[in-house]
Each structure stands twice: as structure tokens, then as C-alpha cells.
Amino acid sequence: MDSLSAYSMTIGIIILMVSWIDLLFRSAKEDFAWGLCTALLPPIGYTYGLLRLDIARDSWVMALLGSTLVILGIT
């Protein structure tokens, strides 16, 4: 693994974590149960974000960017 792919994966993972924390705060602000589900089961939280794009659009954009960087870092 060269340094560029390691850097890409590191930045991608950091962006993914920030998007999950952002989604956690947004979902907990709207409904405590969704906030708890997002905290304990992140895939369910991202499903909630997909269903409520009016609230969680920024989280989804960050998640897609982070996922793209991680995938580019692997290849």
C-alpha cells in the first residue's frame, strides 16, 4: 500500500465517522428512538437518513464521499 492510498483511506474513514456522528445528532434531535437506533446500529441509521433526505442530506453526502475515498484507497 503506497502512501496516497493510505492517506485516501484514512481521510475516507474520518469522513465516514463524522457523517455518522452528524446523522446521530440529527436523528436524535428529531426522535429519541431513531437516535438510539442510529447509535447502536449504524446501517439502520443510514436507512433512516435515506428515508429522511430533507433532514440528513449532508450526512449522506459525507458518507458517499467517505465511501468513495475508502474504495479508491483499496484499489
pLDDT digits (tens, 9 = 90+) for 6-58: 999 999 999 999 999 999 999 999 989 999 999 999 888 889 989 999 999 99
* Stated pTM of the model: 0.88
Burial code (b: 16+ CB inside 10 Å, e: under 16) for 7-17 equals: ebbeebeebbe
Q: Residue 46 belongs to what domain range?
A: 3-74
Q: CB-based contacts of 3: which residues, under 8 Å, 6+ apart?
A: none
pLDDT the model gives residue 8: 93
- In whole angstroms, give the CA distance from residue 64 to residue 37: 20
Q: In total, how many domains does the chain have?
A: 1
Can you say whether residue 41 is alpha, beta or left, with left for phi > 0 and alpha for psi between -120 and 50 degrees? beta
- Kind plus residue range of the DSSP H or E element containing 57: helix 53-74
